[in-house]
A and B are shown apart, each in its own frame.
Chain A
Amino acid sequence: MNWIGLYTMLRREVQRTLRVVIQTLVAPAISAALYIFIFGSVIGTRIDDFAGVPYISFVFPGVLMLSIINSSFASASSALYFMRFTKGIEEILIAPFSYIEMLIGFVGSAVTRAMMVSFLILGVGVLFGAVTLTHPFWFIFYIASIASIFAMLGILVALWAESFEQLQVLNTFIITPLTYLGGIFYSITFLPSTAVLLTKVNPFFYFADGVRSSMIGYSEANSTIGLVMIISLIVLLGVLVTHLFRIGWKIRT
């Protein structure tokens, strides 16, 4: 295993993240603070507790999950697409990386950025008393797993896209709608039975529920189904991305 090479990929992504710190770290932290103000102080005071916790505590893990998705997807898709665009990808292609190492490097870089964002937002949440951290191990597991999934989706989009606009297609038409319909802002107990059924086949519901249960200890989903879904997606996407790296789709001429 090319450990120094992998560490270099991670180090480069951290430096890239810090190069545009307002966009990558400051903006999500400000958004989190605004959510706390609106859902905690403005709206939250007029809403009864959810499952024994204040509304902001119910919503905040979903807000954090949104940031994980956005940062990991943006990190992987923009890094790889920019590398394709500038031919900087050739630096990786001529270096002694196996296809699995390329996968680990790109995903690890995106997960690293997502971790930085997650802990910053968690810090904001804890500072303002909006959330706690009930199960630290599961919290790390869920944010790393969700970030890995969206990093690999970001890689797929970066390989497929032929323009900066296409880079946003998946985010606009799939990720954002499924995220908002995944029970971030509401409990599924408020939904009619058909909508509950639809929510339960939406993977984003399990992502949000996993993060929420690790933070405030409240869960509405079957965690076993959620874990199977998350691990299956990681394996499926990992195999697909590694295969595409192996055949050099859109990166080797």
Chain B
Amino acid sequence: MSNVPALEIKNLVKRYGEKVAVDNISLTIPKGSFFGLLGPNGAGKSTTIHSITGITQPTSGQILIDGVDVVKDYKLARTKVGLSPQEFNVDIFATPEQLMDYMGGYYGIPHDQRWEKINELIARFDLEKHRKVKFQKLSGGLKRRALLGRALIHTPDLLILDEPTAGVDVEQRHDLWAYLKEMNEGGKTIILTSHYLEEIQYLCNDIAIINHGRIIAHGTKDEFMKEGKSVEQTYLEIIKSEKPA
């Protein structure tokens, strides 16, 4: 594994008119990391993720995925990252296998290779019975699994999961956690945002907290759990200390 970080963000700023959504963030995530990005609603998590994946245009700063600039060399950079978004950004009339097929096609994966991967992902996420069911007819958990399959179709180096277990029942969530751990142990770098802090505590080895568009804490899971605290306790302490008295 090379020393080039999986993701390097340098002085990222994103403004929407007068509003500063991301305020001069710098962050380095090494390869193989399972990175938790925490923060309240509207803190800047999704804007940061969208800047990495090309959905948002940064106002200033630089983002490198595996050393590749996401603005200057955007086509190559896009092949290195997969996104499972918070919102269901899909054609609701498409089936899980169609979603993966189209996305795999967009990434330029040849037919046979693409269908081999689709069948592997359908089996891995237990979607066999639902592979030809329209997205709109799927349960919340099945929708999340279909999106995860779509994000993995091109075998990205960096996987970004924005609230991947929202609406997923406990059993399926644990199954998903096992798969994510397995992928991370296989060397894949994963960035996870979640409001379930036990999920972050269970899965992540590095954690950052973002609030008002700024990184206000960054460290290892052990640092977040010192003195016998849970990640959730530390998170709440840090967020509360940010609020004006």
- Find chain B residues with CB under 8 A from A91 CB: 89-90, 102-103, 106
> Shortest distance in angstroms between A202's beta carbon and chain B's nearest beta carbon?
37
How big is chain A's contact interface, by range? Answer: 20 to 34
Query: Number of B interface residues, CB 8 Å?
Result: 31
**Hey, which bits of chain B sit against chain A, CB under 8 A?**
16, 47, 50, 53-57, 74-76, 78-79, 81, 83, 85, 87, 89-93, 101-103, 105-110
Q: Does A104 contact B (CB under 8 A)?
A: no
Interface pair B79/A94, CB less than 8 Å apart: no
Q: B16, A5: Cβ atoms under 8 Å?
A: no
> 26 A-B residue contacts at CB 8 Å?
A2-B108, A3-B108, A4-B108, A5-B105, A5-B108, A8-B105, A19-B93, A83-B91, A86-B90, A86-B92, A87-B87, A88-B89, A88-B91, A90-B89, A91-B90, A91-B102, A91-B106, A93-B55, A95-B78, A96-B78, A96-B79, A97-B75, A247-B57, A248-B57, A252-B55, A253-B56
From B47, B87, B91, B106, give the contact of A8 (CB < 8 A).
Answer: B106
The residue on B at minimum CB distance from A99 is: B74
How far does the alpha carbon of A8 sit from the alpha carbon of B130 in the complex, in Å? Answer: 22
**Chain A residue at smallest Cβ distance from B99:** A91
Partner of B54 from A5, A82, A93 at Cβ < 8 Å? A93
Contact with B along A1-31 (1 / 0, CB 8 A): 0111101110110000001000000000000
Q: Which of A69-128 contact B (CB under 8 A)?
A: 82-83, 86-98
B54 touches A94 (CB 8 A): yes
Q: How far is the CA of A94 from the CA of B57 in the complex (A)?
A: 12
A252 touches B57 (CB 8 A): yes
Across the interface, name the chain A residue whose C-beta is closest to B16. Answer: A253
Docked complex Cα distance between A3 and B107 (Å): 10
Q: 1/0 per residue A210-253: CB within 8 Å of B?
A: 00000000000000000000000000000000000001100011
Nearest to A98 among chain B residues (CB) is: B75
Closest 4 CB pairs of A and B: A8-B105, A95-B106, A87-B89, A96-B75
User: Chain A nearest CB: distance from B227 CB in Å?
Assistant: 40
Known contacts A5-B108, A8-B106, A253-B16: does B55 contact A94 (CB below 8 Å)? yes
**Which residues of B sit under 8 angstroms from A247, Cβ to Cβ?**
57
CA distance A83 to B85 in the complex (A): 15
